[in-house]
Amino acid sequence: MNVIEIKDLHKVYTMGDTEVRALNGVSLQIAAGEFVAIMGASGSGKSTMLQILGLLDIPTSGSYKLLGKEVSTLQEDALAAIRSQTLGFIFQMFNLLGRTSAVEQVSLPLLYSNPNMPHDDPKELLKMVGLGERLGHKPNELSGGQQQRVAIARALTNKPKLILADEPTGNLDSKSSEDIIGFLGKMNASGITIVLVTHEPDIAAHARRIITMKDGNVLSDEQNPKSTIPPPLHPLLSDTTDPSLSNSTFSFRNVKEYFRQAFRALTANKVRSILSILGVMIGVSAVIGGQAIGTGAQISVQQQLSSLGTNLLMLMPGSIQVGGVQQGVGGTSRITLQDVDAIASVPMVKRVAPELSGHVQVTYADKNWSTSLVGTTPNYAEMKSYQPIYGRFISDTDVQTRNRVCLLGITVIKNLFGDNANPVGQWIKINRVNFQVIGVLPVKGSNGFQDRDDAIVVPVTTAMYRLLGKLYVSSVDVEADSTDDTGPASDAVKNFMLKQKHIPNIPGSENAFQVRNMADIQATLSASTQIMTVLLSSIAAISLLVGGIGIMNIMLVSVTERTREIGLRKAIGARRIDILSQFLIESVVVSLLGGLFGILLGWSFSQIIHLSLNWPTVVTPTSVIISTVFSALVGVVFGIWPAYKASRLSPILALRYE
């Protein structure tokens, strides 16, 4: 049976407006088990012939049957499957991968073959060609003859039926050349058909058949009676492989190997890889940090407002126009303690607490401090979560007797008594009036504009008559029966106060009092912090976009630099999906590494902000997951074009690339 049968084969290359006819109607047959040498001067068409026989190039016209199957019209992936199953290549330039050991070089064809296909052990093949002691050596650690032996072992991995050798001794000394011819003779003796291209007559003299080409035509085709290589006893006559195994499969084995090769490619160009990773890392860290700051602020606002109660209202005096003249705030709508007591009887109102605020000077021993003062009643503690951590809160008796007692915030305590002090029972002066400390207020923290722990609480009557000299309260906290009642309760309280103060029903009278709903404030502030978080994340996403563009540039450079490697992989059976997957995975590896380092940097940045500025920051699992997924998507999106470009390269053009 013929292994190769070509009929009227033409190959025409177009170079601008010029047509170059590399093959002009070549017809020949090569039987199973033959050892054929193709000779000819440069430009005779012998290399083009070998490339078409090896399915690296396709003819312009004509018929080519390999093992009885027409292959001249097959698509690239089908040709790749046949190359993986049937052919073995030995190149003049060896085409070994840098930074890859000899055993890995020989194992490379297995990556693109079906695992159920028969194959030889790469280590045993290397031992067979005399490199058993150099399994872990890389190409730069091997001589030219040893590199060619590695190439021979690689060509034998998938048990090919046809070996194509392109000037296999062209770069070797005479001793190494004889060794290579000896190995080719052994392969032929095992039944493998050998087609050898050479321009050296002494090398061609070993073949049993010599074909001479000139100007794209077969000039002569003769048997060589002087050949030293005997014909094989049992030539491989037909394709005995199960047709169902003719196509390689994409499996976890491939993905694992692609990841390993991706890390190898990254370490080979460390500076370039670090720059690519840095771009993604900055983008991801900006996303993590921005979301941590925004989320922390949102949670802080929610905690502070929830401590006030979502069913809490705040009544404050407003202003109205009388005769076209704008009255001052509280001018006609001052709130007295009697008004506070009356508001408690309004329907849907659970309880009330007045607030009288001011600024005072407080001293203890030789220390003094300027702070905020709040005068209120016992209801204030439960309504606004102000139960003291030490001591007690003010009582009704304290309010009725205008008792000189107070509760101090943590900031006031630190400035008067020092850290870790318990001032309960001590006497201090507030605006030169002696007061006894009866409790320590709970820690409320800062809202970004005001330290809520820098405060003193006293009975409202004491604040009015002993400290501030005021007869009216600043505001009234009103607690509705439930969250659903806050709306109706707000209207009821405002209408009650308008009647209480005998304010006429004229345009603008509704502004005499203002009622603020804490639930509405909480929703508004939460929405504001969410907008801030989205804004910060959007800005950070631009950094990720820039990092993605950097990855695409790096991968395009990598494709250009590794064009010959792509050609080699296709020559030994890699399909387009294999090349696409390999470069895409390399891009994703860069993105994921940048994403992981970015998460660490973003978390560190958020912690620095928290510790140095006392700003609440929260790195949520959601933000970490989103950043990781997004960084991987950056690798996929920006790596798809370079990977696609690599997968579409022609095997022969890639191998010829300089």
Q: Considering Cα of 288, then 292, then 294, then 299, what sign does the dihedral take?
A: positive
Position 212 in a domain: yes
Q: Which two tokens stand for residue 219?
A: 């000039």
* Same domain for 292 and 189: no
Position 564 in a domain: yes
Backbone angles phi, psi at 9, to 5 degrees: -85, 130
CA distances from 489 to 34, 160, 500 (A): 102, 89, 16
pLDDT of residue 544: 67
Name the nearest CA neighbour of 600 among 292, 266, 297, 281: 281
pLDDT of residue 245: 42
* Same domain for 587 and 461: no
Q: Which two tokens stand for residue 344?
A: 């408690």
| Mean pLDDT per 10-residue segment, the chain (658 residues) | 90 83 91 91 88 90 90 86 88 83 88 75 88 89 89 89 88 84 88 90 90 92 87 66 45 70 75 79 78 70 56 82 49 82 91 94 94 95 89 95 95 91 93 95 76 93 93 91 82 88 71 75 61 67 72 79 84 86 84 85 84 76 77 80 85 78
* Same domain for 357 and 427: yes
* Same domain for 273 and 181: no
pLDDT of residue 246: 45
* Same domain for 399 and 456: yes
Q: Which two tokens stand for residue 23?
A: 């093959």
Name the nearest CA neighbour of 364 among 451, 452, 435, 422: 435
Name the nearest CA neighbour of 646 among 572, 544, 541, 570: 570
Residue 272 lies in domain: 262-303+525-656
Pairing of strands 35-39, 193-197: parallel
* Same domain for 582 and 448: no
The pTM (predicted TM-score) of the whole model is 0.62
Name the nearest CA neighbour of 382 among 309, 448, 451: 309
CA distances from 607 to 352, 600, 611 (A): 41, 11, 6
Return the number of other C-beta atoms located less than 10 Å from residue 279's C-beta: 26
* Same domain for 448 and 362: yes
Contacts 24+ apart (CB under 8 A), 339-342: 339/476, 339/497, 339/500, 340/473, 340/476, 342/496, 342/500
* Same domain for 487 and 560: no
- Three-class DSSP category at 354: strand
pLDDT of residue 413: 94
* Same domain for 476 and 607: no
Position 513 in a domain: no
Position 254 in a domain: no
Position 520 in a domain: no
Of the candidates 436, 471, 502, which is a domain's last residue?
502
* Same domain for 425 and 354: yes
CA atoms within 13 A on the CB side of 267: 9
What one-letter code names the amino acid at 32?
A
**CA pair distance 264, 456, nearest whole angstrom:** 66
Place of tokens 């321009």: 199
Position 518 in a domain: no
Pairing of strands 455-459, 513-517: unpaired
User: DSSP assignment, residue 335?
Assistant: B
Position 510 in a domain: no
pLDDT of residue 244: 42
**CA pair distance 456, 49, nearest whole angstrom:** 97
Name the nearest CA neighbour of 300 among 600, 533, 598, 484: 533
Q: Which two tokens stand for residue 482?
A: 């439930």
* Same domain for 154 and 33: yes
Of the candidates 248, 282, 315, which is a domain's last residue?
248
Of the candidates 182, 217, 248, which is a domain's last residue?
248
Number of domains in the chain: 3
Backbone angles phi, psi at 88, to 5 degrees: -135, 135
pLDDT of residue 400: 95
The gap from C-alpha 518 to its chain's centroid, in whole angstroms, comes to 40
Position 572 in a domain: yes
374 in Cβ contact with 457 (< 8 Å): yes
The gap from C-alpha 13 to its chain's centroid, in whole angstroms, comes to 44
* Same domain for 91 and 205: yes
